Homo-oligomer: A and B are copies of this chain.
Amino acid sequence: MKVLITGFDPFGTEVINPSFEAVKHLPKKIANAEIIKLELPTVFQKSSEILKKEIQIHHPEIVICVGQAGGRASISLERVAINLAEARIPDNEGNQPVDKKIEIAGETAYFTNLPIKAMMKNIQQHSLPAEISYTAGTFVCNDIFYRLMYLINNDYPKIKGGFIHVPFSHEQVNGRENLPSMSLDDITRSLFYAIESAVTVKVDILENVGVTH
C-alpha cells in the first residue's frame, strides 16, 4: 500500500511551516505502507496540480494533505471541505481570491472519506492532543482539500483522502502571548499515528452508522 502525504512551504510572516517540517521526518514505512512525501507551494490551485501529477505517478491508496493552523491547540482532523476560496492575505504567488468557487461544477462541500475518528483516537491513545474540526478555513488549505476530494469523487473513487491541520511549532510562538504550540517531534508522532490508523482501520466508527462516505 502507498500513502502520499504532503506539507506546505512557509507563508505569511512565518519562516517555517510545521506541516512539511513534520512530514519530512516521518519514516519511509508505517504499518507496512510506503510513505511518499511531497512539499507543496502555498499557492491556490497550483498546489493541487502538483498533487494531481504525483497521484498519477504513484497511484497511492491514501492521500493526506497537512497544513498549519496557527492558534489551534490540537491536531485537527478535518471533516469537510467547502467550495469557496477567500483569502485575508495573498498566497505565495500573490493570489488573493474573494468569494470564488473553487470548482464551478463541484458540490458545495465534500466530507473526507478517511476514518478520522479512529485516527483521532489513535493519536489520543498515544498521549497526544487531537480533535475533529468542521472547518478548514477558506485559504489554500481548504483549497487543496476541496480539490483533492473533488478529484476523488470524480476520478479516483478508490482513494481515501483528507486533510490534517497542525498547530504552530514551539519555535514559532516564543515572544507571542499565550499562543498554543506543539513540538515538531509531537506533530510528527501525531501524523505517524494518524497514518497508522488510516492504513489499518478497515471499518471506521463513521462507517458503522452509515454516514457520509
Contact = CB atoms under 8 A, between A and B. Distances in A.
A170 interface: yes
A180 interface: yes
A170 B128 contact: yes
A30 interface: no
Interface residues of A, number: 49
Interface string A47-86: 0000000000000000000000001111000011011100
Contacts of A79: 82, 84
Given A107-B108, A138-B134, A180-B73, A209 B99 contact: yes
A73 B179 contact: yes
A contact patch SS: loop
A183 B181 contact: no
Contacts of A209: 98-100
A173 interface: yes
A113 to B, nearest CB: 12
A211 B99 contact: yes
A174 interface: yes
Interface in A165-198: 169-171, 173-174, 177-184, 186
Contacts of A130: 174
12 contacts: A73-B173, A73-B179, A79-B84, A80-B108, A99-B209, A108-B109, A108-B111, A129-B174, A129-B181, A131-B178, A170-B186, A183-B183
A24 interface: no
A71 B206 CA distance: 28
